[in-house]
Structure 1
Amino acid sequence: MKALNQLNNPEKGKLLHQLFPNEMPELIDFVQGMCETVKENEELNRSKWNNGLFTFDFWLALAGEVDQKIDKYGAKLHKSSNLFADQLFDGYLASFTIHCIVTYTAVRQHENGKFVKAVDLFFYP
Structure 2
Amino acid sequence: MQSNPEPIQPVRPRKAKTAAGLVGGFGLLGLLLSLVLFADVLDSHGASVPAIVFLLYLAQLGLSATQLACGVFIWLGRSWARSTAVGISVINIIGAVVLLFTGAILPAIVGAAVNGGLIRLLTDDDVKDWCDE
TM-score category (smaller protein): 0.3 to 0.5
Structure 1 or 2, whichever has the larger Rg, is 2
Given the two structures, how large is their TM-score scaled by the length of structure 2? Answer: 0.39
Given the two structures, how large is their TM-score scaled by the length of structure 1? Answer: 0.40
